[in-house]
Amino acid sequence: MTYRNMNRSWLEKYDQPQTPGKTPKDEFDAFIELSSDPTVVFDEDKAWDRVSSRLSMTPAKKRFDYSIILKVAAVVVLAAFTFLLYQVSLTDNPQLVEVTTTDAPLNYTLPDGSTVYLDANSTLSFQEDFNERIVTFDGRGFYDVVKGGSTFTIQMHDLSVTVLGTSFSVETSDNQFRSFVKEGLVQVSDTHSSRMVKPGEILTYQKSDKKFAIAANDNPNILAWKTGKFIFKNTPFDEVTDNLEKYYKVNFRNAHQFKGCLVTAEFDQQDLTEVLAVLGEILNLEFKISQTEVKTLGKVCK
């Protein structure tokens, strides 16, 4: 049977009006009908609460005697109630909650149970009621979003990230946006277009030319800024320091001079002095720390 004929024969089956709930005609019919789910149960109480409050009815649990006097009283009560509601709604405007980190990172739990690990110097803000699951974000953060009825949106200047329930990191700087997805799927959109980022991928967006690039992530330390766990295998020294800088909040001033030195080591939340001692031992180098600056001294590797 050709495709056209196949279509034709289905079409004939659908040519007659269908009544919902009617016995399905064939397998395809029954199959499609599966989506109607006749077992679904709706929450009557919740629905009634919504409808009665939209009609400004007081919860009608007790029976009223509709004598004139009571009717008048009810109207007065209703009016007072509405006025009260109005007053409450005036003073109870949703508040904007803002969370800002300066020196130290912070693990923050949002009203829906999603968590954000905010790195230092980041800002997160959202409406207190959090009905729409929208946050505004600036800086670097790791999001672990719980699955909810609605999508979860992060707005960052002209970019927005939409997800349903997943974990991923985002990072904005003056000229670049980066997102790494650990689990699930993340959609990143600017005003014109959008891209899907899959687990293990890293998306980079250059603000200057508004272009997206997606690549498989090959850096095992992509989340080390948060976890403090580093794995280096023959990694050039300047790449090692790039990763360390993000977690230890220091600046390796002349690391690029030593990029010929390869490091194989693992660290797990050790103090910076300990990490530097290990590196010094492996590479026969010395480090001089002054405040947040680290200077590397010694012979360049060949």
What residues line the site for another protein (CB under 8 A)?
3, 6-8, 10-11, 14-21, 27-28, 31-32, 34-38, 40-42, 44, 47-48, 50-52, 54-55, 57-58, 60, 63-64, 66, 147, 151, 162-166, 184-187, 196
CB of 282 to another protein, least distance (A): 43
Asked whether the beta carbons of 170 and 188 are under 8 A apart, the reply is: no
Partnered with residue 178 across adjacent β-strands are 171, 204
Asked whether the beta carbons of 275 and 254 are under 8 A apart, the reply is: no
CB of 5 to another protein, least distance (A): 12
Q: Which tokens sit at 194?
A: 């959008």
Burial of 84 (C-beta count, 10 Å sphere; 0-12/13-18/19+): exposed
CB of 185 to another protein, least distance (A): 4
Q: Which is nearer to another protein, 11 or 216 (CB)?
A: 11
User: What type of residue sits at position 254?
Assistant: N
CB of 240 to another protein, least distance (A): 35
Greatest CA span in the chain, whole angstroms?
A: 100
Distance, in Å, from the CA atom of 124 to the CA atom of 28, rounded to the nearest integer, reads 49
Q: Which is nearer to another protein, 47 or 213 (CB)?
A: 47
Q: Which is nearer to another protein, 94 or 148 (CB)?
A: 148
CB of 221 to another protein, least distance (A): 27
Q: Which is nearer to another protein, 123 or 151 (CB)?
A: 151
Distance, in Å, from the CA atom of 94 to the CA atom of 260, rounded to the nearest integer, reads 56
Q: Which is nearer to another protein, 184 or 220 (CB)?
A: 184
Q: Which is nearer to another protein, 49 or 271 (CB)?
A: 49
CB of 263 to another protein, least distance (A): 38
CB of 97 to another protein, least distance (A): 24
Q: Which is nearer to another protein, 115 or 151 (CB)?
A: 151
